[in-house]
Amino acid sequence: MRHRRRTWIPGLLLISPSLILLAVFVYGLIGWTVNLSLQDRHNARPAKGYVGLDNYTKLFTSDINDRFTHSLKNLLVFTLVFMVGTIVLGLIWALLLERRAKAEGFWRTVYLFPMAVSFVASGVVWRWLMNTGEGDNAGGINAIFHGLGLGFLESPWWTDPDWGMAAMAVPAIWQLSGYVMALFLAGFRGIPEELREAAVVDGATTFQLYRQVLFPQLTPTILSALIITGHMSMKMFDLIMSVSGAQWLTEVPAVYVWQTLLTRDYAKAAAISVFLLLIVAVVVVPYLIHVNRSEKRS
């Protein structure tokens, strides 16, 4: 027993700094924010009291121009396009490299490299690439289309009121497809060679090999990719700020929080933050539980 305690104490001591820091700066502040979101603190003065869930319901019922629902709609379009885009592109690239392409290492680096760029830096470049001028005023990609005589392809990009957020997802797809490719590649490599050989012996075509044998093995990889891209997209702030700045057209909840905070409406900003945390948690927590269970099983 005494021996046991001795091994237990240094371990706790070792992790205690990070535990304390996490408890104070993550969980403590989450608690503080939730508490704030339930009060009527709409300026810098101390709150007068608790208002229950008023700050939350007001976001949906009496926000001017339905601003919050609009930002959720923007976020939905962005997230869908971003997730589908990265998964499809990442899968295609992984398939190409998985076929033992020449100079695989080189291509892998090429595709993975955009991930090393910060969203702010790529946002500034894409802001220029997605210049919305058309015709003689065109710049960036529109200018290329214009120069090639493909004027009909010129697009208002992120300023389109309905599909602007889809254009906003393009830089994010460009950055993270390589990462998803790496995930898939690792997934493919993790499938035992025997499975492929057995399928080939049984006379499976290449299509059948992928469809029936390899893809089912990739389910955990796809799930990880969805979770990682999904939670990144829901917190998206820096890319949008550097492409369009804070404005109605491209407003998502994270940008809305920032705008609200700048105008000193602390309770409302807290409510939006907590809401955002909840929707991310709805996606992430079941995944964590799932991973935990399958790890215990194996």
Which residue among 51, 76, 117, 159 contacts another protein (CB under 8 A)?
159
Q: Cβ closer to another protein: 122 or 260?
A: 260
Residues 49-68 binding another protein (CB under 8 A) are 64-65, 67
Which residue among 129, 244, 271, 275 contacts another protein (CB under 8 A)?
244
**CA dist list (Å): 289 to 18, 28, 83, 292:** 23, 23, 22, 5
CA distance 213 to 241: 43
**Residue 161 is a binding residue for another protein (CB under 8 A):** yes
CA distance 156 to 154: 7
User: DSSP string spanning 170-193?
Assistant: HHHHHHHHHHHHHHHHHHHHTS-H
Residues in contact with another protein, total (CB under 8 A)?
A: 39
Which residue among 263, 278, 281, 294 contacts another protein (CB under 8 A)?
263
Site string for another protein, 10-39 (x = CB under 8 A): xx-xxxxx--xx------------------
HEC readout, 12-37 = HHHHHHHHHHHHHHHHHHHHHHHHHH
In the chain, what is the greatest distance between 2 CA atoms, to the nearest angstrom?
A: 82
CB atoms inside a 10 Å sphere around CB 177: 25
Which residue among 112, 196, 265, 291 contacts another protein (CB under 8 A)?
265
Site string for another protein, 175-214 (x = CB under 8 A): ----------------------------------------
CB of 48 to another protein, least distance (A): 13
Cβ 177 vs Cβ 86: under 8 Å: yes
CA distance 71 to 248: 8
CB of 66 to another protein, least distance (A): 10
- Residues forming the site for another protein (CB under 8 A): 6-7, 9-11, 13-17, 20-21, 42-45, 64-65, 67, 70, 131-133, 137, 156, 159, 161, 244-245, 247-249, 251, 259-260, 262-265
